[in-house]
Amino acid sequence: MYTVVGVSISGPRVTVQAYGLLGLIMDAYHLNASYQISGGPSWMDSDSDRFDIVANAPGEGTPTGDDVRRMLQTLLADRFQLKLHRETKERPVYALVVAKNGPKLKESAPDKEFSTTVGGGRSAQLTMTKATMEQLAIRLSDGMDRPVLDKTGLAGHYDITLNWIPEFAGPPAPDSNAVNVFTAVQEQLGLKLEPQKAPVEILVIDHAEKPSEN
């Protein structure tokens, strides 16, 4: 058994447990955060409206992540009568830019391969090898309330280590050296997250219904 975006897969069987409609849509369309969705019913992310789904993938063998997402899209259209469309709207973003004193980045060795790991808990650590600034921006977006867009103009590949305290963990102890992600990006990488507005593609929910009981 393995898991793709929170969906359990064992052979051809795909199982989703206690998911709200918002989570199903995010998994089906490979979204990182709820700010990528607009509209939808009031119960879309309600704790009292959770659904269990068990489905068998067509054909033989274990379905890929893309196969599972296509299955979920079909299920959402059939069972939830989901109708949506894509739009590009001007939204708040964070622009990742070079800070005043210049970047503090280590160029990757030519023989390295791309990798990324994230450690969670009360303190967070992001480690990336042979990463572009666009890949860093995408990874930073995962923990933000808005997208992060690469505006650094840096075209290289870098080894990156970033340590910070997530907002949900509360303020660091007075004697701690821990900092929030904004300070960490500036002090540790020589970059900066600037609030801006920019065109962002989002999914707009036109219609959705609660599914009937099986």
**Distance of CA 61 to CAs 7, 44, 213, Å?**
17, 33, 29
What are the average pLDDT values for consecutive 10-residue runs of the chain, which has 214 residues? 53 77 88 86 86 76 78 88 94 95 95 87 87 94 88 96 77 63 95 95 93 69
pLDDT at 16 (0 to 100): 78
pLDDT at 137 (0 to 100): 94
Residue 103 CA to residue 192 CA, distance in Å, equals 9
pLDDT at 103 (0 to 100): 96
Q: Where are the domains of the chain?
A: 2-80, 90-200
